[in-house]
């Protein structure tokens, strides 16, 4: 394998990992606040279709992303009202949101099936893209990929080094204690859920504007579900989400590239690797003595009513 | 005289419409994907619409889309049978066993399963000769390639897909002895993202004309972006890639659906294993790009004509498999039964079939 091919593979891995990175970053923040949102796939599809519609009708990919963010936010608000206000079951509501989003996106997108748009073009960053090897892998992408870099590092900083991060973790670990010291638990959770929705919207827009610039029904093909696995794989650490997303991306690219090269090892095995890793992490998590280290938010999936005491 | 025939005509019309209004034939469809996939399920739904257009009030159709293969399929098919459908089409390979089971429980209902091989008293099967389209695709790709490397995105290594890979390669080889074919398995029928990745992986490795057996138009868009060429699958995908698109091998189910519904109405329906191709208009070459070189276009037309007339059958011996054994003896054309069991690559394909 020559270095050119390796560069192409790693470049593609970053690109393939980017939609997963966006949506998993949103979900990890949501889960850190103690809310499990299984509606990722539905929000992502809505982001994809609305982003495409907006970009198609205005001719501006930027407006497409903006519309997708708003749509993701609206979808997550529906979810937030149901689970945070009315106290509906998070798992059931999330699944319903996915089914709703899948159907609705197919319905509103039916008019633009078969249309194509320009989408975002790659921009090589001056100087940085001249770095040998790394420059071509990391710095010759489109603007959304660069935004995902910035977003990841900003979130690592916010979650680990700021008061906002502490508040978020406090709410996810023990909402009653957080409430007792005066944190508005529901408000924090609302914001976290909305952030998750916005990121899912961007992730969907990335699919329909950059990755495969078109709209066809169900085009995210389960990436929302992979993102949920990715959060567990990363054991709720933001930095590891990035690593995991690129690893998932790399595995799925390698699987295709190696076949083209005629390698004899089973490509199915490679395609399986990220999932095997996820299962292993899940098994470890379910063993109690590791739980502390793995940072699974303790109140994840449980509803909280400020009027009740623990 | 005139008045009389007019009266008779009106009488007949009234009589006919009375019969129609009384009892439309109820026809159910089960799809594996969304009707908006612009590929497999979309074309089946076009067939259903063609049926309604042709028979008008005489038929009443229903469909269920996005049905997972397995236990869910059995539930959906049972529901359609219980709802009084006279004829039910189940349109994916994975619906085979559920259809067989439900057919046993509802002996009065007639069933038709696409791409399967199990028949019973009230269950027939139907398949497209997609390999005919692949052969022409191969001929075209073999003439168009400048790198002598064509690419093929496979879905799953089942006989239908393997058969089509062979047909494409034989087609390419017949016009270009130096041609190589790179095959990548995507392990999905439908995932635009993954299909894009597969297309890019192939193009990174020197492929300049691409064929696919997955259902989304994503590979065509990827080829368009890089100024290379590709052939559409299942439905007319030209609008996604106006320059890259060579033609699409389009599935056309309408003639078959009309024929079978008519047979049920006439009481002549019998379970059969039906294979339809260009000859039956169940395959067509859609939107052949006018930007092709003249000799390529002529070769496409000639190959199509010889397949359509029945004069040429792609799987006619002598054909060797890629281990050097005789797979098809001289002067023999594979029968449909033999075609259904192709699990070998033809000579010249260096890959191995994944297990």
Pairing of strands B283-286, B245-251: antiparallel
- Residue A8 contacts B where some CB pair is shorter than 8 Å: yes
Q: Which residues of A touch B221 (CB under 8 A)?
A: 116, 212-214
Per the CB < 8 A criterion, the answer to whether B126 and B29 are in contact is: no
Shortest Cα–Cα distance, A38 to chain B (Å): 20
Of A113, A260, A262, the CB nearest to B36: A113
Per the CB < 8 A criterion, the answer to whether A89 and A239 are in contact is: no
If you search the block for the tokens 């001929």, which residue do you land on? B139
Q: Where are the alpha helices (DSSP H) in chain A?
A: 3-32, 40-58, 61-80, 90-109, 134-138, 143-161, 163-173, 175-180, 185-206, 223-233, 238-261, 267-286, 288-294
Give A 187-246 residues with CB within 8 A of chain B: 207, 211-214, 216-223
- Residue B352 contacts A where some CB pair is shorter than 8 Å: yes
pLDDT at position B230 over 50? yes
Q: Report the residue of chain B nearest A7, measured CA to CA.
A: B204
Which one, of B308, B288, B305, B287, lies nearest residue B297 by Cα?
B288
pTM metric for this prediction? 0.82
Q: Which residues of A touch B185 (CB under 8 A)?
A: 259, 267
pLDDT at position B167 = 97
pLDDT at position B11 = 46
Mean local confidence (pLDDT), B240-266: 95
The yes/no answer to whether this complex scores an ipTM above 0.90 is no
- What's the rounded Cα separation, in Å, for the pair A195 and B170? 54
Which of B192, B243, B322 should be substituted to probe chain A, the one whose Cβ sees the most A Cβ atoms within 10 Å?
A: B192
- Residue A273 contacts B where some CB pair is shorter than 8 Å: no
Per the CB < 8 A criterion, the answer to whether B300 and B246 are in contact is: no
Q: What are the angstrom distances between the C-alpha of B228 and each of A141, A168, B122, B220, B251? A: 21, 50, 48, 9, 24
pLDDT at position A294 over 80? no
Q: Which residues of A touch B355 (CB under 8 A)?
A: 266
A281 confidence band (pLDDT: 50, 70, 90): low
A218 confidence band (pLDDT: 50, 70, 90): confident
A271 confidence band (pLDDT: 50, 70, 90): low
Per the CB < 8 A criterion, the answer to whether A120 and A142 are in contact is: yes
pLDDT at position A309 over 60? no
B74 confidence band (pLDDT: 50, 70, 90): very high
Mean local confidence (pLDDT), B283-293: 96
Q: Where are the alpha helices (DSSP H) in chain B?
A: 2-22, 40-55, 71-82, 96-105, 130-144, 159-175, 192-204, 218-225, 254-266, 294-308, 336-339
* Interface contacts A/B by beta carbons within 8 Å: 108
- Is the Cα dihedral A80, A81, A85, A86 positive or negative? negative
The answer to whether the CB atoms of B183 and A259 lie below 8 A apart is: yes
Which one, of A274, A165, A207, lies nearest residue A22 by Cα?
A207
Of B197, B221, B352, the CB nearest to A116: B221
Q: Which residues of A touch B351 (CB under 8 A)?
A: 259, 262
- Cβ burial, residue A182 (10 Å; 0-12/13-18/19+): exposed
Q: Per residue in A76-111, pLDDT tens? A: 999 999 999 998 999 999 999 999 999 999 889 988
Counting Cα atoms < 13 Å in the Cβ hemisphere of B232 gives: 32
Q: Which residues of A touch B200 (CB under 8 A)?
A: 12
- The DSSP letter of residue B119 is -
pLDDT at position B354 = 79
As beta bridge partners, residue B233 has B249
- What's the rounded Cα separation, in Å, for the pair A27 and A33? 10
């Amino acid at each position: 394998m020559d270095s050119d091919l390796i560069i192409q593979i790693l470049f593609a891995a970053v690109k393939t990992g980017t939609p997963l990175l966006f949506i998993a970053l949103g979900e990890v923040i949501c889960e850190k606040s103690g809310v499990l949102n299984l509606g990722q796939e539905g929000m992502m599809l809505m982001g994809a279709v609305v982003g495409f519609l907006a970009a198609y009708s205005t001719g501006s990919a930027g407006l497409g992303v903006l519309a997708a963010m708003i749509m993701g936010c609206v979808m997550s608000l529906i979810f937030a009202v149901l689970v945070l206000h009315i106290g509906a079951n998070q798992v059931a509501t999330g699944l319903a949101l996915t089914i709703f989003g899948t159907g609705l996106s197919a319905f509103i997108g039916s008019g633009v099936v078969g249309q194509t748009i320009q989408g975002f073009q790659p921009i090589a960053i001056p100087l940085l893209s001249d770095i040998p090897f790394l420059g071509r892998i990391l710095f010759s992408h489109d603007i959304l990929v660069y935004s995902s870099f910035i977003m990841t590092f900003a979130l690592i900083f916010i979650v680990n080094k700021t008061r906002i991060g502490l508040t978020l973790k406090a709410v996810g670990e023990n909402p009653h204690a957080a409430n007792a010291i005066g944190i508005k638990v529901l408000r924090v959770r609302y914001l976290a859920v909305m952030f998750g929705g916005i990121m899912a919207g961007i992730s969907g827009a990335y699919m329909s504007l950059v990755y495969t610039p078109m709209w066809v029904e169900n085009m995210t093909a389960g990436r929302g579900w992979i993102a949920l696995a990715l959060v567990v794989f990363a054991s709720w650490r933001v930095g590891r989400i990035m690593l995991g997303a690129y690893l998932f991306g790399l595995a799925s690219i390698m699987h295709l590239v190696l076949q083209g090269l005629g390698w004899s090892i089973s490509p199915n095995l490679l395609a399986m690797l990220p999932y095997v890793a996820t299962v292993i992490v899940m098994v470890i998590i379910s063993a109690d003595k590791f739980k502390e280290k793995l940072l699974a938010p303790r109140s994840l999936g449980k509803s909280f009513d400020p009027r009740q005491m623990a | 005289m005139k008045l009389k025939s007019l009266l008779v005509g009106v009488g007949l019309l009234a009589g006919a419409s009375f019969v129609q209004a009384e009892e439309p034939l109820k026809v159910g469809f089960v799809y594996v994907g969304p009707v908006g996939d612009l590929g497999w399920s979309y074309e089946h739904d076009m067939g259903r619409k063609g049926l309604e257009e042709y028979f008008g009030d005489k038929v009443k159709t229903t469909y269920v889309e996005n049905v997972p293969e397995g236990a869910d399929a059995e539930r959906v098919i049972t529901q359609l049978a219980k709802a009084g459908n006279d004829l039910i089409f189940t349109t994916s390979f994975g619906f085979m066993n559920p259809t067989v089971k439900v057919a046993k429980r509802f002996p009065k209902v007639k069933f038709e399963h696409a791409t399967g091989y199990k028949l019973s008293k009230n269950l027939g099967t139907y398949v497209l000769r997609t390999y005919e389209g692949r052969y022409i695709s191969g001929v075209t790709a073999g003439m168009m390639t400048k790198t002598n490397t064509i690419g093929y995105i496979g879905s799953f290594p089942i006989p239908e897909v393997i058969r089509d890979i062979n047909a494409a390669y034989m087609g390419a080889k017949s016009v270009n002895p130096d041609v190589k074919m790179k095959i990548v398995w995507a392990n999905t029928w439908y995932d635009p993202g993954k299909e894009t990745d597969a297309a890019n992986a192939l193009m990174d490795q020197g492929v300049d004309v691409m064929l696919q057996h997955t259902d989304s138009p994503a590979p065509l868009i990827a080829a368009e972006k890089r100024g290379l060429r590709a052939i559409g699958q299942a439905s007319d995908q030209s609008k996604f890639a106006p320059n890259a698109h060579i033609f699409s091998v389009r599935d056309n189910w309408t003639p078959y659906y009309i024929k079978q519904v008519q047979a049920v109405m006439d009481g002549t329906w019998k379970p059969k294993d039906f294979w339809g191709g260009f000859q039956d208009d169940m395959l067509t070459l859609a939107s052949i790009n006018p930007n092709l070189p003249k000799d390529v276009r002529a070769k496409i037309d000639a190959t199509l004509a010889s397949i359509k007339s029945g004069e040429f059958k792609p799987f006619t011996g002598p054909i060797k498999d890629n281990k050097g054994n005789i797979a098809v003896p001289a002067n023999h054309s594979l029968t449909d039964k033999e075609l259904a069991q192709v699990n070998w690559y033809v000579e010249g394909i260096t890959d191995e079939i994944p297990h």
